[in-house]
Amino acid sequence: MTDELLYEVRDNTGLITFNRPERMNTITPKMLNALSERLLQADADPEVRVIVLTGAGRAWCAGLDVGAAMSGDGIGSEGNSTGNGEFNLRDAPPVVLHKIDTPTIAALNGGAAGYGMDLALGCDIRLAAETAKLSAAYTARGLVPESGGTWLLPRIVGWSTAAELLFTARTLTAVEAKEVGLVSQVVDGADLEATALGMAQDIAANAPLAIRASKRLMRHAMTEGLEDHVQRQYLALLPLFGTKDFREGLASYLEKRPADFHGN
């Protein structure tokens, strides 16, 4: 692991922090691998019911480390697309974010640009500080989104808006990002972490098996028809009927008390 990426578990929440504030939390090869590993670690941990990603300092993640790429050491350097010859694109963090069943929240404390924007798009929920910005400036750098942006963005904001953002290389303020549906909430920067962790607690209070199944179903629904998806929903529902959490959900409703779910 690396000190450039911090991880802790707090009240059923896996908190991942990009920790290169002096470099606007730009991604290095070590961070790239460590992020995928931490996401998979959190997803496999029964104590973690939600994952929150945030950044140290004034940026969330300003993309790949361009300085390192230009010097020939980093991701994107000539003849070295990842800065690590063993890295598999199927293990790229935006792909892992999409594959894991644990809900993810991007707490955007500052700018998310380039690869950082792809990472933000890969999260299930995005919350933004008032000072945060999202930059789709790929084409202004002679590039396309590095890892999934052209798949994710049209599904989040629609084709026309995605095309406008990508073709014009626009940078959106937090308020503009909310207007087009890129973020769910815009909050004062001082309240961002509390808001994100509070939402994580709201999610963690519900039945974790049902939450994970819901995310899996939403993922499948993006690529299959209604009839096939209804069959998949039914097959996902059957095992949930036999869980202790289902019985607890019914009992807590009838007894008018908060539920105490344990993921079994």
pLDDT tens profile 130-186: 999 999 888 888 888 878 899 999 999 999 999 999 999 999 999 999 999 999 999
Q: What is the pTM of this model?
A: 0.90
- How does pLDDT run across 77-110, given as a tens digit for each residue? 444 444 444 556 778 898 999 999 999 999 999 9
Angle at 116 between CA 46 and CA 43, to 5 degrees: 10
CATH topology of domain 5-204: 2-enoyl-CoA Hydratase; Chain A, domain 1 (3.90.226)
End-to-end CA distance of the chain: 31
Q: Which ranges of 136-256 would DSSP assign to H, the alpha helix?
A: 149-157, 159-168, 174-179, 192-204, 208-221, 226-241, 244-254
Provide the residue type at 169 as one letter.
A
DSSP, residue by residue, 156-181? HH-HHHHHHHHHHT-EEEHHHHHHTT
Q: Which residues contact 92 (CB under 8 A, 6 or more apart)?
A: 32, 36, 147, 148
- Token code pair at residue 196: 């994100």
